[in-house]
Amino acid sequence: MKQEVSRRNVLRSGAMLAGSMMLPEMSTLAAPMKVAGVAPFELGLASYTFRNFDRSQSIAFLKQLGVSALNAKDVKDHLPMDPAAEAAALADYSAAGITLHAIGTVSFSKPDEADIKSKFDYAKRAGVKVIVSGDPDVKSLPIMERFAKEFDIRIAIHNHGPEDAKYFPSPLDVLKAVKGMDPRMGCCIDVGHCERAGTDPVVAIHAAGARLFNLHVKDLTDFKSRESQVAVGKGKIPFRAIFEALAANNYKGFVDLEYEINGENPMPGVIESFAYMRGVLSGMGYQKA
């Protein structure tokens, strides 16, 4: 049985973001880890979280959060695919001290070589080494693999839960599809969609191993309901066990919050989510970078 300390103990103040000292949630899924120093992975944010806000507003939010790692998407003006507009966005992020570590999700909905290459050019201009791919056509995968090798850019296929039955509801479906392909073909595990597809994200992390290139996090109170999303720490997803699995697998990528609710006023839940995750990491013995 999984035992968690109460959220009141974990989140001593939902309004406090940085420097919060919290007790970790306890889990029998993994033995307690004696760790010190900086976590091997870093907390970041998927820009889709701020889909209703423009780039300048999003940058202000990131500064308020103390987050400098961004997975940027072509939504609003966050990271346009037009080269000139993309260059302007990149200049703004650089001036604000924000580093792009991935782009996405990016659609590869058709096996069109020119279209697929344009997405890799987009990633190259952004200076990232990971493209998070949403629902790629399986016929596109061999072309994507070829460009992944040519550009030396990794493809992280995002699972989208039971509604995505045609493509990749679970990370395990992604792993089946890329088995035997170039090691730059892998997955982005969305832990909320993973749970809704009936797959334990801890199991999925261990199964993915070196093919895990990105992690999207959200929390749910009901694993059967997409509408049950809440701020991280208020739901049932076992984040202590997830972070332990990432550390055990020496995952050196990013854990990106993808907050999909309260689009018009996301910051209270986003602040609470980062405070909780930082508290769990602190409880594991990790210090902020």
Would 111 be classed as within a structural domain?
A: yes
pLDDT at residue 37 in the model:
81
Sole residue written with tokens 């006023």: 265
Would 8 be classed as within a structural domain?
A: no
**pLDDT in 10s for each residue of the chain, 289 residues:** 433 434 434 443 343 333 433 333 333 333 444 555 889 999 999 999 999 999 999 999 999 999 999 999 999 999 999 999 999 999 999 999 999 999 999 999 999 999 999 999 999 999 999 999 988 999 999 999 999 999 999 999 999 999 887 789 999 999 999 999 999 999 999 999 999 999 999 999 999 999 999 999 999 999 999 999 999 999 999 999 999 999 999 999 999 999 999 999 999 999 999 999 999 999 999 986 5
Separation of alpha carbons 140 and 110, rounded Å: 6
Give me the domain span that covers residue 185. 36-283
Separation of alpha carbons 142 and 3, rounded Å: 44
Would 1 be classed as within a structural domain?
A: no
Would 6 be classed as within a structural domain?
A: no
pLDDT at residue 238 in the model:
98
Report the candidate in 189, 184, 147 with the shortest Cα–Cα distance to residue 170: 189
From residue 272, give the alpha-carbon distance in Å to each of 29, 67, 121, 255. 25, 14, 36, 16
Would 289 be classed as within a structural domain?
A: no
Give me the CATH number covering residue 229. 3.20.20.150
Q: Exposed, middle or buried, 181 (CB in 10 Å: 0-12/13-18/19+)?
A: middle
pLDDT at residue 157 in the model:
98
pLDDT at residue 107 in the model:
94
Write out pLDDT tens, residues 42-71: 999 999 999 999 999 999 999 999 999 999
Would 229 be classed as within a structural domain?
A: yes
Would 237 be classed as within a structural domain?
A: yes
Between the CA atoms of 92, 106, 212 and 217, what dihedral angle is there, to the nearest 10 degrees? 70
Query: In sequence order, what DSSP letters do the residues of the chain get, joined into one string?
Result: ------HHHH-S-TT--SS---PPPP-SSS------SB-SSEEEEEGGGGTTS-HHHHHHHHHHHT--EEEE-SSTTSS-SSHHHHHHHHHHHHHTT-EEEEEEEEE--S--HHHHHHHHHHHHHHT-SEEEEES--GGGHHHHHHHHHHHT-EEEEEP--GGGTTS-SSHHHHHHHHTTS-TTEEEEEEHHHHHHTT--HHHHHHHHGGGEEEEEE-EES-TT-GGGEESTTSSS--HHHHHHHHHHTT--SEEEE---S-TTS-HHHHHHHHHHHHHHHHHTT-B--
Q: Number of folded domains in the chain?
A: 1
Would 106 be classed as within a structural domain?
A: yes
Write out pLDDT tens, residues 165-219: 778 999 999 999 999 999 999 999 999 999 999 999 999 999 999 999 999 999 9
Please state whether the predicted TM-score (pTM) of the whole model is above 0.75. yes
